[in-house]
Structure 1
């Protein structure tokens, strides 16, 4: 999980506030790129600022939240739909006020409609200061997904999370093209370097390929490289 006080989260928070964004859509090219981590960290940052925040989990591909103390299959009352319920992040067990992914096909259809979803966001903003929507991946589409671009069009701004060392330039170009619409405002992109090796690690990997060098020499070089602060940055 990303700490809410992380400097990069602070930059996202400031960018959103300076853009007067009340409803944010967080999306990515593929599943596992870090959308939920950014969502929870930013939600925490909003809460630390004293802003009443609602997380809307619209990721039908791989939902990261579940209702705390309420059956996911149960239908919500009108008040719960408007004001949210208590959500629990499945991995960290953090609790947030939010809405779970709809399970009924009729509800999914309404969420896929840009006009209806925009009306829902407007209704939620009557009860909350900030809204963050966690979406399905842009490039992983199936019949049960709520398209990320539809969610993006209903929000004030969109943030695209990119996984360093995993997302290809072709995938990024396609995702950016899908977000190219007059109704979608891209606030910026977040480069997730969690899985990307540092320059020092890349050098060590290459050194270990030189099997003609004595193992003791390679180990000494490896230790010096990994201790070098200049080589601790991502390649």
Structure 2
């Protein structure tokens, strides 16, 4: 998972603050780009600044959270939205955030598919929270089975598009940008995720010449030498 203290996350945070963005939609062009990781890191960065922050998981294509009920007597709550507005936990890394998980059934998703209804929900959330971060489905996978990302992005103050290095094509990126522009989504910028990209030193150390030809003591010396210089830490 991405750290909330990364320089890139800090730059996004500052840019969003300068634009006075209270609601942020984080999306990606395709699955596996790291949308959830960035949305969580940004949420944690808001929390570090003292903002009451709500994490909204609308990524129905690849849901990563489960709800943790903390109410003493949930049976007394009749409003489903209030019942679901609780603590949520990531299924794999087990981080807990204040959040809301979109319902699975299409009938219960309808209020979030309608722009005006979603706007009312967002306004209601912002009465309690200082910031709201939406984790949405990839634009390439938006269909009738999930909440349209463009609808969410249109209602937010800012939209961040996550792109994965070496996996996203020019066509998919341009298509995603075109969808956001066509639907009048307030676009902030692109976050380039290099989590699958190796550094120059890793490429050199994994090469057959390095592993099979050079003596082990020479390999260790070269590894130490490359670790001292930023040139060898650059992504290839």
| TM-score normalized by the length of structure 2 | 0.86
Q: Is the 8 A contact 2:205 2:211 kept in 1?
A: no
Alpha carbons of 1:214 and 1:152: their partners in 2 closer, same or farther (altered >3 Å)? Answer: closer
**Count of residue correspondences:** 227
Separation of aligned partners in 2, 1:183 and 1:29 = 17
CA RMSD in angstroms, aligned pairs only: 2.6
Distance 2:35 2:85 in 1: 20
Counterpart check, 1:121 vs 2:122: yes
Provide structure 1 residue ranges, at least 5 long, that are not aligned to the other structure.
none
The aligned residue for residue 139 of structure 1 is 140
Deviation at 1:67, TM superposition (A): 0.3
**Structure 1 residue 181: Cα displacement:** 3.3
CA distance in 2, matches of 1:165, 1:77: 48
The corresponding residue for 1:215 is 212
Q: TM-score w.r.t. structure 1 length?
A: 0.86
* Conserved 8 A contact 2:69-2:86: no
2:222 corresponds in structure 1 to: 224
| Deviation at residue 182 of structure 1 after TM alignment | 6.0
The structural deviation recorded for 1:202 is 3.8
| Contact kept? 1:56, 1:98, Cα under 8 Å | yes
TM-superposition CA deviations, 1:47-87 (whole Å, max 9, x none): 111111101111111111110138xxx9x743853992111
Q: Give the Cα–Cα distance (whole angstroms) in 2 for the partners of residues 172 and 118 of structure 1.
A: 27
Q: Tell me the equivalent position of 1:151.
A: 152
Question: Is this contact kept in 2: 1:108–1:144, CA < 8 A?
Answer: no
Q: Distance in 1 between matches of 2:221 and 2:187?
A: 42
Moved more, 22-31 or 97-106: 97-106
Structure number with the higher helix fraction is: 2
Q: Residues 35 and 146 from structure 1, CA distance in 2 versus in 1: closer, same or farther, beyond 3 angstroms?
A: same
The 1:82/1:49 distance shift into structure 2, 3 A limit, reads farther
Distance 1:223 1:157 in 2: 48
Give yes or no for contact 1:86–1:96 (8 Å, CA) kept in 2. Answer: yes
The 3-state SS of whatever aligns with 2:141 is: coil
Task: State the 1:204 CA deviation.
Answer: 5.2
Whole-angstrom CA distance in 1 between matches of 2:83 and 2:53: 13
Provide the rounded CA distance (Å) in 2 between the counterparts of 1:214 and 1:203.
Answer: 9
Q: Is 1:27 aligned to 2:24, yes or no?
A: no
Q: Which runs of 5+ in 2 are unaligned?
A: none
